Amino acid sequence: MTSVEVPYSIASALPSLTVLDITNDVKHELRESGYDDGIAYVSPIDDVALVRVQERESGFFTDLEELLTRLVPQDERDRERQLCMLLGPRTEQIPFAEGELCLGQWQRILLLGFDRPSRPRWELTLLG
């Protein structure tokens, strides 16, 4: 049996929310960096996106989209920017030790976007 590591995958594609799992890609970048211990800052490049560490559970994404629709209706002007402001900081800080991210067993690094990106756009800053 052969296993293949996918750099990112679509965790959820809902009408107003796209969630991409970038965990494997971030792990790859960390391994290639040569850093052993420190903090990884994962930030989105796009203005209307944010990064979160969360379990990859489909019910969560559906609930989140429903909550966001109640907070800021779909037809609201500048909806995406308002949602980013309500959801807090756009960057996620993740400790790492011995060259590996310190994530829980089911935790993943997710890139949340409110438009339909063709590919994930994020940057990694390492402090070690």
The tens digit of pLDDT for each residue in 77-110 reads: 888 888 888 888 899 999 999 999 999 999 999 9
pTM of the model: 0.83
Q: Is the pLDDT of residue 126 over 90?
A: yes
The tens digit of pLDDT for each residue in 30-75 reads: 999 999 999 999 999 988 889 999 998 878 888 888 888 898 888 8
Number of structural domains in the chain: 1
Q: Is the pLDDT of residue 128 over 70?
A: yes
CATH code of 56's domain? 2.60.120.460
**Residues spanned by the domain of 51:** 13-127
Check: CB of residue 50 under 8 Å from CB of residue 64. Answer: no
The CA R_g of the chain, rounded to the nearest whole Å, is: 15
| Token digits of residue 10 | 């679509």
Q: What are phi and psi of 20, to 5 degrees?
A: -110, 135
Predicted pLDDT at 125: 96
Domain assignment present for residue 5? The answer is no
The tens digit of pLDDT for each residue in 68-84 reads: 889 888 888 888 888 88
